[in-house]
Structure 1
Amino acid sequence: MSRPGPLPVDPLAEAKRQWIAHGWTTTADGMTVVTSVMRAQQLLQAKVDAALRPFELSFARYELLRLLAFSREGVLPLSSVVSRLQVHPTSVSSTAERLVKDTLVRRSRHPYDGRAAMLELTEAGRELVERATAALNAEVFTDPGVDPDDAAELIAIVARMRRRAGDFADPRPQPDPL
């Protein structure tokens, strides 16, 4: 159910006020950071979902197709997909199976390791991911809802947060993380 318009008060600011009123002053900023980022993710996810809906793609399916399209030959080992998408192997396998069923990806044995699988983008998959990328660029990425200066600052803050969480290691890989 969608709201007809903006709320008259920021519920996250009210939550912070309540946190402080209940004596949790030292954790109020942390709670606000976490809930603010989670709410921002919900807002961005809704925009992404709306842009991908005409293509019958979830963001997980789109990411896998886009990753394959970025590779030199449209083929990657399943283990590389898992590593690069930073998602549990079961989730990647499930997503890949749906893409195989829809003939957007082919799954085959690894040429040198019979236990491993390869994922290959089909022409239908390549065509679909290009159209979906054009829609995401036009409807979401061109204007994610923050001005360019704020975007650069937000990207840097989140990159520092990710690095501290162990998402990637220093020295920085090439190209530099955002």
Structure 2
Amino acid sequence: MPRNAPLPVDPIAEAKRQWVAHGWQDAAAGMTLVTSIMRAHQLLLSRIDATLRPFGLSFARYEMLRLLGFTRTGRMPMASAIARLQVHPTSVTNTVERLTRDGLVEREPHPVDGRAAMLVLTDAGRDLVERATAALNTNVFDSPGLPEQDTAEVVRLIARLRKGAGDFTDPRPLPDPL
């Protein structure tokens, strides 16, 4: 949660000092990393939430709409959405139910797999996600809080952490077109 005035001391640096003072120096750097990332997440999410609030969207609902908006036809199988969003299937189901209730997404039977559902972006959903994206670009993404070079370095470092945790693998080279 943002404060009106900066604190006189960095609480994460103080926590690290305490970790070392209590004999946990081997874990102090890791605690500092985790806590710093969690705090950065809070700061960025606060800006995102404030930007999306006028659109009646949470970040989860926005991500689903944006994902569908990126497809050529505004549709994708539910299983593909779950895989790409990297969240629990129940969370995606709840998000889709809310978007469906609000007329932003429709569910249709999968054309091949009778057990699966297709998610389809409605015209209202497409309009909303385009307006919300413009607001996020202006209010958050254009100026995330770091210079461009630092932003690229943070993304690179976090990608290494994510890859090391098994979040993704290097893409295989695509075959040459026939």
Point out the more displaced range, 162-171 or 136-145: 162-171
Which residue identity is paired with 2:53? Answer: R
Task: Letter of the 2:98 partner, please give it.
Answer: R
Q: What are the equivalent positions in structure 2 for 1:1-178 lying under 5 Å apart?
A: 3-171=3-171
Give 1:111 deviation, angstroms: 1.0
How far apart, in 2, do the equivalents of 1:55 and 1:93 lie?
21
Amino acid at match of 1:15: A
Deviations 1:32-87 (A, max 9, x none): 00000000000000000000000000000000000000001000000000001011
Runs of 4+ in 1 over 4 A off after TM superposition: 171-174
Q: Secondary structure at the match of 2:145?
A: coil
Distance 1:69 1:171, change over 3 A: closer
Q: TM-score by structure 1 length?
A: 0.95
Structure 2's unaligned 5+ residue stretches are: none
State the distance in 2 between where 1:137 and 1:171 align. 27
Give TM-score scaled by structure 2 length: 0.95
CA distance in 2, matches of 1:60, 1:173: 31
Unmatched tracts of structure 1, length 5 or more? none
Whole-Å separation in 2 of the counterparts to 1:2 and 1:34:
19
Q: What does the per-residue CA deviation read over 1:131-166, in whole Å, with 9 as the maximum and x for residues that have no partner? A: 000000000001000011111110110010000000
Between the aligned partners of 2:75 and 2:152, the Cα distance in structure 1 is 32
Checking the alignment, whether the CA contact within 8 Å between 2:2 and 2:43 is kept in structure 1 is no
State the shift of 1:3 in Å.
2.6
| Percentage of pairs with the same residue | 65
